[in-house]
Amino acid sequence: MATLFRALVLLLTLSDLFVGMLSLGVGINYGQIANNLPSPSRVALLLRSLNISRVKLYDADPNVLGAFSNTNVDFVIGLGNEYLLTMTDSSKAQTWIGQHVQPYLSQTKITCIVVGNEILSGNDTRLMSYLLPAMQTVHDALGNLSLNNQVYVTTAHSLAILGSSFPPSSGTFREDLAQYIQPMLNFHSQANSPFLINAYPYFAYKDNPGQISLAYALFQPNPGMIDPNTNLKYDNMLYAQIDAVYAAIKAMGHTDVQVKISETGWPSKGDANEAGATPENAGLYNGNLLQRIEAQQGTPANPSVPVDIYVFALFNEDLKPGPASERNYGLYYPDGTPVYNIGVQGYLPHIDYSSAKKNNHQVGGWWAGDVGGRGRRRREILESLRVFFLFMGRSLR
């Protein structure tokens, strides 16, 4: 009780920080392709301190789902591409739901299952043919447990599924993918589930740095562009990409399917040929994006619909294959220190003291370094806060 009391006193003393803390109106992608990440329980503490309440996983990791029990965090979980064939079997889909979803729902909020990732922009037509049947079977399995109104089913796409994206009002899907996308849109309409897109203005800039305006890609002041068909002005590339997807969906006869951004971000580091991958640009992109989300801003073609986004990613992931940028999309280093400043205020706990990068980091007014007795005292304070948060979370339920 003494530890709990100290935590309560500390929280009251710092109430102005918590009241004034910026609540991030975005979700975060929590990838784990790394060998140096903090434990899920410590990640839960970090996200709670930031008021982030929406998390997207790429699997259904029981360690994560268990660590976030009673935290009111809204989870999107994933079914990897390797599961598509299996999920076309109704009995196997029912078993998967029974093992990976149903046991956690009493304490952990799971609201979405993403079946597959960027299948239609790949080259495997066999997987493409499995995608919608797998989505339908998983949806039916949820329905058998009366969970289909609580957990929706969708998949995530790359922007490479677009055949045309400029101007935004002329957006269309690739003709060779129409046979897959048209029935999928019918499914989304009937199931009331969103169409997910992984959208990265960084890729467009990296491939054409001499032609693409960096300011336009980073939400910085710029002349923008006018869509000649609608006279709508676009001052950033991401919103133009979103409206191009809406236009492509409309061209297939649907105005009842919402577009959500399942991934977007900017790398803080890249290889020599990866133009624009710097901490400064990453900070500008994500910081400016957060300001727009906080203002509940819609796109020019859909101004009354706030943009719904999951930022990629929470941590740098050192084991991801590919160019250096792939390992440097994180907002945080694995030790819990921010990679760059995006203007977020508040209490950011230093997660892994044993692997602190430096002893002189200061985050949100709190020294993160572990220096003698002060470091031990800070660990006591953090543990007290963790106990207090868990106590409050359980007592309020």
Q: Tokens in use for 259?
A: 């577009």
Give per-residue burial for 56-89: e unless 16+ CB within 10 Å, then b.
bbbebbeebbebbbbbebbbbbbbebebbeebbe
Q: Taking the mean position of all CA atoms in its chain, how far away is CA 197?
A: 11
Pairwise CA distance, residues 334 & 34, whole Å: 9
Pairing of strands 74-79, 27-29: unpaired
Rg (CA), the chain: 22
Q: List, by residue number, the catalytic residues.
A: 118, 263
**In the block, which residue shows the tokens 């990296």?**
206
Q: What is the DSSP code string of 314-332?
A: SB--TT--SSGGGG---SB
The answer to whether residues 218 and 281 touch, using CB atoms and an 8 Å cutoff, is yes
Pairwise CA distance, residues 369 & 391, whole Å: 27
Pairing of strands 259-264, 233-234: unpaired
CA distances from 354 to 34, 37, 83, 149, 319 (A): 17, 12, 37, 44, 20
The answer to whether residues 333 and 348 touch, using CB atoms and an 8 Å cutoff, is no
CA distances from 325 to 29, 62, 264 (A): 16, 29, 13
